[in-house]
Amino acid sequence: DAKTTQPPSMDCAEGRAANLPCNHSTISGNEYVYWYRQIHSQGPQYIIHGLKNNETNEMASLIITEDRKSSTLILPHATLRDTAVYYCIVMFSGGYNKLIFGAGTRLAVHP
């Protein structure tokens, strides 16, 4: 079973920030939070990951609460091409790991 809970769907206006929440209340101390997205039946694509500090890269920002029980993925200026299903996944990092996907959040970006 997935160890995360996400809203099934969200909407966002183009050019605005999209904030996608994720609950992972049973996360253990050495598990990371990973975000992937899947655009229209393509293979999933890595976005960002973090352990306890906030992270930012060219695609997005990841805000993890101090107790690590929840996180938020932020797409600062959403575009139509960001319309996708976003998956929040917790897992150990190191060696090989099996991604356990939940149902994710379907983000629709509209003009």
Partner 1 sequence: NAGVTQTPKFQVLKTGQSMTLQCAQDMNHNSMYWYRQDPGMGLRLIYYSASEGTTDKGEVPNGYNVSRLNKREFSLRLESAAPSQTSVYFCASSELMGSKETQYFGPGTRLLVL
Interaction site with partner 1 (CB under 8 A): 2, 32, 36, 41-46, 49, 51, 87, 93-104
Sheet holding 70-75: strands in order across? Answer: 18-23, 70-75, 61-64, 55-56
- Fill in the DSSP letter of residue 43: P
User: Least Å distance between CB 79 and partner 1?
Assistant: 22
- Closest CB 15 distance from partner 1, rounded Å: 28
Given the complex with partner 1, which of 29 and 43 has the nearer CB atom? 43
Task: Pick between residue 16 and residue 46 the one whose CB is nearest to partner 1.
Answer: 46
Report the distance separating Cα 48 and Cα 25, nearest Å. Answer: 19
Nearest to residue 109, comparing CAs of 93, 89, 86? 86
Tell me whether residue 49 or residue 74 sits nearer to partner 1 (CB atom). 49
Q: For residue 29, give every residue at least 6 positions away whose Cβ sits within 8 Å of its Cβ, in sequence order, or none.
A: none
Of 23, 21, 2, which Cα lies nearest the Cα of 86?
21
Task: Please report how close the Cβ of residue 14 comes to partner 1 at its closest, in angstroms.
Answer: 25
Nearer to partner 1, 83 or 87 (CB): 87
